[in-house]
Chain A
Amino acid sequence: MENTHHTGGHAAAHAEEHSFDKKAIWRTFWILLIITIVELVLAILHFSTGFPPKLLLNGTFIILTLAKAFYIIAEFMHLRHEIRNMIMTIAVPALLFIWFIAAFLWDGDSYRNLRNRYDPYHKEQSMPKKAPEHEGAKPGELH
Chain B
Amino acid sequence: MANDSFHGHPEVVTTHEVHHDEHHVHHHKETFITKYVFSQDHKMIAKQFLITGMIWAIMGGLMSVLFRLQLGYPDQTFPWLEDILGRWARGGKISVENYYALVTMHGTVLVFFVLTGGLSGTFANLLIPLQIGARDMASPFLNMLSYWFFFGGSIVMLASLFIQTGPFSGGWTFYPPLSALGDASPGSKAGADYWIIGMALFIISSLLGGLNYIATILNMRTKGMSMSRLPLTCWALLFTAILGVLSFPVLLSGVLLVVFDRHAGTSFYLADIFVGGKALPNEGGSAILFQHLFWFLGHPEVYIIILPAMGLVSEIMAINCRKPIFGYMAMVGSLFAIAILAFLVWAHHMFVTGLNPFLGSVFVLLTLLIAVPSAIKVFNWLTTMWRGNIRFTPAMLFAVGFVSLFISGGLTGIWLGNSTLDIHLHDTYFVIAHFHIVMGVSAFFGMFAGIYHWFPKMYGRYMNNSLAYIHFWVTLVGAYLIFWPMHYQGLAGMPRRYFDYSQWLSFSQFSDLNKFISTVAMIVFAVQLLFVFNFFYSIFKGRRVTSTNPWHATTLEWTTPVRPGHGNWPGEIPEVHRWAYDYGKDGRDFIPQTEPVGPNESKHH
- A–B contact with Cβ pairs below 8 Å: the answer is yes
Chain A hits for B354, CB < 8 A? 111, 114
Closest to B247 in A: A96
Q: Assess the B8–A17 pair: CB atoms within 8 A.
A: yes
Of B5, B17, B289, the contact of A81 (CB 8 Å cutoff): B5
Chain A hits for B344, CB < 8 A? 96, 99
Give Cα A69–Cα B296 distance, bound, in whole angstroms.
24
Query: Does B252 sit at the interface, judged by CB under 8 A?
Result: no
Q: Assess the A10–B14 pair: CB atoms within 8 A.
A: yes
Q: Assess the A3–B10 pair: CB atoms within 8 A.
A: yes
Of B9, B288, B359, the contact of A106 (CB 8 Å cutoff): B359
Q: Assess the A106–B356 pair: CB atoms within 8 A.
A: yes
Q: Assess the A100–B2 pair: CB atoms within 8 A.
A: no
Q: Assess the A82–B5 pair: CB atoms within 8 A.
A: yes
Of B17, B18, B272, B359, the contact of A103 (CB 8 Å cutoff): B359
Chain B hits for A127, CB < 8 A? none
**Complex interface bits, B273-302 against A, C-beta within 8 A gives 1, otherwise 0:** 000000000000010110010001000000
Query: Does B242 sit at the interface, judged by CB under 8 A?
Result: yes
Give Cα A19–Cα B2 distance, bound, in whole angstroms.
12
Of B16, B246, B343, B355, the contact of A107 (CB 8 Å cutoff): B355
Closest to A1 in B: B8
Q: Tell me the residues in window 87-116 of chain A with beta carbons closer than 8 Å to chain B beta carbons.
A: 87, 93, 96, 99-100, 103-104, 106-108, 110-111, 114
The total of chain B residues at the interface (CB under 8 A) is: 32
Closest to B342 in A: A96
Of A17, A83, A106, A111, the contact of B6 (CB 8 Å cutoff): A83
Q: Please count the residue pairs between chain A and chain B whose beta carbons lie under 8 angstroms apart in the complex.
A: 71
Closest to A118 in B: B354
Chain A hits for B1, CB < 8 A? 80
Q: Tell me the residues in window 1-22 of chain A with beta carbons closer than 8 Å to chain B beta carbons.
A: 3, 8-13, 15-19
Question: What 6 A-B pairs have minimum CB-CB distances, sorted nearest first?
Answer: A110-B356, A8-B18, A84-B2, A9-B18, A96-B343, A13-B12
Chain B hits for A19, CB < 8 A? 5
Q: Assess the A107–B347 pair: CB atoms within 8 A.
A: yes
Give Cα A109–Cα B299 distance, bound, in whole angstroms.
23
Query: Does B11 sit at the interface, judged by CB under 8 A?
Result: yes
Give Cα A122–Cα B286 distance, bound, in whole angstroms.
14
Chain B hits for A18, CB < 8 A? 8
Chain B hits for A81, CB < 8 A? 5
Chain B hits for A100, CB < 8 A? 296, 343
Closest to B242 in A: A93
User: Contact residues of A with B, CB < 8 Å?
Assistant: 3, 8-13, 15-19, 80-84, 87, 93, 96, 99-100, 103-104, 106-108, 110-111, 114, 119, 122
Query: Does B84 sit at the interface, judged by CB under 8 A?
Result: no
Closest to A17 in B: B8
Q: Assess the B16–A9 pair: CB atoms within 8 A.
A: yes
Q: Assess the B286–A111 pair: CB atoms within 8 A.
A: yes
Give Cα A119–Cα B362 distance, bound, in whole angstroms.
27
Q: Assess the B8–A16 pair: CB atoms within 8 A.
A: yes
Give Cα A84–Cα B347 distance, bound, in whole angstroms.
33
- Taking the closest CB of chain B, its distance from the CB of A124, in whole angstroms, is 14
Chain A hits for B387, CB < 8 A? none
Chain A hits for B343, CB < 8 A? 96, 99-100
Query: Does B29 sit at the interface, judged by CB under 8 A?
Result: no
Chain B hits for A122, CB < 8 A? 272
Closest to A93 in B: B246
Query: Does B13 sit at the interface, judged by CB under 8 A?
Result: yes
Chain A hits for B246, CB < 8 A? 93, 96
Q: Assess the A110–B355 pair: CB atoms within 8 A.
A: yes
Chain B hits for A13, CB < 8 A? 9-10, 12
Chain A hits for B242, CB < 8 A? 93
Query: Does B588 sit at the interface, judged by CB under 8 A?
Result: no
- Taking the closest CB of chain B, its distance from the CB of A122, in whole angstroms, is 8
Of B13, B292, B359, B363, the contact of A11 (CB 8 Å cutoff): B13
Would you give 24 A-B contacts (Cβ < 8 Å), ordered by A? A9-B16, A9-B17, A10-B12, A11-B10, A12-B10, A13-B12, A15-B8, A15-B9, A80-B1, A83-B5, A83-B6, A87-B2, A96-B246, A99-B344, A103-B363, A104-B292, A107-B359, A110-B355, A110-B356, A110-B359, A111-B286, A111-B288, A114-B354, A119-B272
Q: Tell me the residues in window 1-54 of chain B with beta carbons closer than 8 Å to chain A beta carbons.
A: 1-2, 5-6, 8-14, 16-19
- Taking the closest CB of chain A, its distance from the CB of B221, in whole angstroms, is 14
**Complex interface bits, B332-348 against A, C-beta within 8 A gives 1, otherwise 0:** 00000000000110010
- Taking the closest CB of chain B, its distance from the CB of A112, in whole angstroms, is 9
Of A9, A16, A84, A99, the contact of B9 (CB 8 Å cutoff): A16
Give Cα A106–Cα B347 distance, bound, in whole angstroms.
12
Give Cα A17–Cα B14 distance, bound, in whole angstroms.
22
Give Cα A101–Cα B231 distance, bound, in whole angstroms.
36
Give Cα A141–Cα B18 distance, bound, in whole angstroms.
67
| In the complex with contacts A93-B246, A111-B354, A11-B9 CB distance below 8 A | no
